[in-house]
């Protein structure tokens, strides 16, 4: 773990050199109301100096559909402030970012500012991969609130006070095969956010656990243990219970309702498409209509960032429950708590 102001927050600039084709510098932000289930907006962008690629995405989950836009260009042809209709600025490292999406085929535009409401947690993720380059990357997660506005189909609304978690990562990520369950968990409450990354092997063994309770008081309470009992419809999370234990001895019993739908990260280019050269000013747009049978089995990846309602005692919160079950026939989900 590390402490605030140690992470170099600005993105790697065009012109940076890297001999490793798998090196990346990437961010992701999510954006959602703090008292309702929709819309859920997820945006991200990555620089891949070894491949001369910069690419990004925005997805929005609405009541009956998910809209997706993906864009890519050559890294050496931009100034490092955005790609296509998406632009960003690290206004104050580890504290304030501005994010803008201009006119595009998705019918969604925004001009928002994310401001940290708690310290970040930071770790170095290291995993040995049989026959592959070892995974070794910095991973930062931090909770914040937004100001600004979002326009959907010409209707503009304020996002002042909306919750949002950000994820920054930089390094080499080559994890392939052997994973059974992946969870990136971000439950937002009025005075804190509970966040962790958990990866289990197909045999149920724990590969990665890292995270913290991020308090608006300015402190971190690192997470030491997580257990889960989740209900899936095939590969799609519906509900469940997550138990979190922290370094200070706090225990959180979180009931999750993830039945709202959407958040399919295949729409954001996950599933192996990030960092692939597509030339200059490439842009793609599509729509997933939920009634058309879109599912984790029909898409490139089962990774899903579901906007979820959380109940912890008398407190209600909202946040992103990212999950993925292996589609391998050798894996079956087994809860780690009763």
Task: Flag whether the pTM goes above 0.85.
Answer: yes
- Asked if residue 301 has pLDDT above 60, the reply is yes
For the domain spanning 23-325, the CATH number is 2.40.370.10
> In this structure, what token pair is assigned to residue 24?
């990346």
Q: Give CA–CA dist 55/70, Å, rounded.
A: 8
DSSP characters for 280-332?
A: SSEEEEEEEEGGGT--TTTSS---EEEEEEEEETTEEEEEEEEEEE---TT--
Give CA separation, 241 vs 15, 76, 169, 337, in Å.
Answer: 46, 46, 28, 9
- Asked if residue 19 has pLDDT above 90, the reply is no
Contact in structure between 43 and 266 (CB atoms under 8 Å):
no
Closest alpha carbon to 167 in 319, 324, 311, 13: 319
- pLDDT bin (cut points 50, 70, 90) of residue 118 is very high
The confidence score (pLDDT) of residue 36 equals 75
Q: Virtual CA dihedral for 130, 299, 256, 247, nearest 10 degrees?
A: 20
> In this structure, what token pair is assigned to residue 77?
């042809």
The confidence score (pLDDT) of residue 323 equals 98
Neighbours of 35 (CB within 10 A): 11
Beta bridge partners of 318: 188, 309
- Asked if residue 221 has pLDDT above 90, the reply is yes
Per domain, the residue ranges of the chain are 23-325
- Asked if residue 270 has pLDDT above 70, the reply is yes
- pLDDT bin (cut points 50, 70, 90) of residue 21 is confident
- pLDDT bin (cut points 50, 70, 90) of residue 3 is very low
> In this structure, what token pair is assigned to residue 303?
């990774």
């Amino acid at each position: 773990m590390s402490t605030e102001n140690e992470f170099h927050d600005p993105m790697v600039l065009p012109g940076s050199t890297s001999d490793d084709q798998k090196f990346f510098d990437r961010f992701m932000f999510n954006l959602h109301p703090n008292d309702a289930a929709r819309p859920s907006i997820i945006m991200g962008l990555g620089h891949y100096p070894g491949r001369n690629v910069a690419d990004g995405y925005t997805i929005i989950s609405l009541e009956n559909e998910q809209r997706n836009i993906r864009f890519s260009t050559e890294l050496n042809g931009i100034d490092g402030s955005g790609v296509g209709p998406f632009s960003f600025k690290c206004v104050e490292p580890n504290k304030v970012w501005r994010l803008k999406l201009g006119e595009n085929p998705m019918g969604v535009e925004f001009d928002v500012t994310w401001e940290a409401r708690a310290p970040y947690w930071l770790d170095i993720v290291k995993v040995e991969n049989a026959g592959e380059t070892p995974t070794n990357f910095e991973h930062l997660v931090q909770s914040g609130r937004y100001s600004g506005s979002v326009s959907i189909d010409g209707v503009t609304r304020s996002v002042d006070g909306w919750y949002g978690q950000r994820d920054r990562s930089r390094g080499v990520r080559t994890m392939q095969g052997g994973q059974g369950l992946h969870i990136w968990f971000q439950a937002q409450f009025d005075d804190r956010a509970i966040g962790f990354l958990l990866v289990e092997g197909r045999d149920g063994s724990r590969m990665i656990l890292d995270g913290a309770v991020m308090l608006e008081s300015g402190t971190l309470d690192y997470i030491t243990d997580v257990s889960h009992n989740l209900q899936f419809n095939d590969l799609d999370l519906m509900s469940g219970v997550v138990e979190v234990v922290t370094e200070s001895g706090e225990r959180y019993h979180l009931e999750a309702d993830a039945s709202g739908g959407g958040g399919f990260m295949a729409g954001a280019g996950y599933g192996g498409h990030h960092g692939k050269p597509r030339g200059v000013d490439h842009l793609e747009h599509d729509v997933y209509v939920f009634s058309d049978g879109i599912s984790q089995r029909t898409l490139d990846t089962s990774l899903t960032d579901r906007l979820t309602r959380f109940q912890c005692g008398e407190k209600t919160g909202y946040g992103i429950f990212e999950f993925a079950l292996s589609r391998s026939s050798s894996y079956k989900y087994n809860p780690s708590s009763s």
